[in-house]
Amino acid sequence: MIIGYYPGCSLEGTSKEYSDSLFAVAEKCGINLETINDWNCCGASAAHNLNHDLAIALPARTIALAEKQGLTEIVIPCAACYSRLSQSQLEMNNHYVIKSKIETYLEMKFTGTIKLLTVIEFLEKYIFPQVDKHVVNKLNQKTACYYGCLLARPKEISSLKRSEDPMEMEEVLKIAGATPVKWAYKTECCGAGLSVSRTDIVAKLSGKILEDAVDNGAESIIVACPMCHMNLDMRRPNIKEQIKKDINIPVLFITQALGLSMGISADKLGLNKHFVPTDKAVKCIIKKEA
């Protein structure tokens, strides 16, 4: 089975382990991911902050290329890219004037019928039906599932059933043999786009998220967005400075957690690429009883 794949810039750079672990899990389940030829950056926060039309046009080019390639579904693991591509497709489909204007810039047709999938939707649709065969380990730890903003909001593009207290990631983690904890910060914002220009703010927001996860007994945090991961993992020294507390809880991508339960090696899943050591999370794992 072939599914289209949009990596986005982070998954080819700072969050390569997210892409590696997604491919490892997909390969295990016999699913081929086909990258969109000549894809470009979605424009991220910068484009919608500074230039509305550019924020529609950049993702539209990638979607039009995917249509040309004959893809009918694309998985977009980065929650920020998913948000930008979905917003663009929504505006193009809802506003004829914008659509015809952008189509002339692109010199390509845009039909807007392609199905865009978050990583959670992809796992539910293609991995869950065959997961029983592949899960050999139990993660055997308490996890805090962190959605952040862009998977949960706005409702027009979110795939989650409950936007304030979603449970879809918890379902994945239960399958992987973990115990999800109840906590309050699962859809709070980590500070995302201000990571470089206002690190102090990001450290404050991310610090609150880490504190609440730990206070509720979590031993690891599971994420599905490279921006969230970077802020919760790489920004730990800045967080320490802000909240005057040393928190060493590891942060794993959802595909790494699922990969571990499938017996894929920590190396192949890129667990050595994080700033906060992940060995504590790996050590908890036990063999699943037959």
Q: Which residues bind to other proteins, rule: CB under 8 A?
A: 9, 12-16, 38-41, 43-54, 57-58, 61, 97-98, 101, 105-107, 149-150, 152-155, 163-164, 187-189, 191-194, 196-199, 201, 205, 234, 237, 272-273, 275
Residue number, 46 or 286, with CB nearest to other proteins: 46
Structure tokens at 93: 């489909």
Tokens for 240, please give them: 């320490």
Helices in 157-235 by DSSP H: which ranges? 168-175, 199-215, 226-233
To the nearest whole angstrom, how small is the minimum distance from the Cβ of residue 182 to other proteins?
20
236: which residues sit within 8 A by CB, 6+ positions away? 247, 248, 275, 276
| Long-range residue pairs from 107-110, CB within 8 A, at least 24 positions apart, any chain | 108/61, 108/64, 108/65, 108/68, 109/64, 109/67, 110/60, 110/63, 110/64, 110/67
Q: Which is nearer to other proteins, 137 or 195 (CB)?
A: 195
Q: 1 burial class (0-12, 13-18, 19+ CB within 10 angstroms)?
A: exposed
**Whole-number minimum distance, CB 217 to other proteins, in Å?**
23
Angle at 234 between CA 169 and CA 4, to 5 degrees: 45
Nearest distance from C-beta of residue 132 to other proteins, angstroms: 34
How many Cβ atoms are within 10 Å of 181's Cβ, its own excluded? 20
Decide whether 58 or 131 has the Cβ nearer to other proteins: 58
Nearer to other proteins, 142 or 188 (CB): 188
Comparison of 135 and 188: residue with beta carbon closer to other proteins: 188
- Give the shortest CB-230-to-other proteins separation in angstroms: 9
CB nearer other proteins, residue 9 or residue 136? 9
CB of 265 to other proteins, least distance (A): 17
Q: How far is the CB of 22 from other proteins (least distance, A)?
A: 17
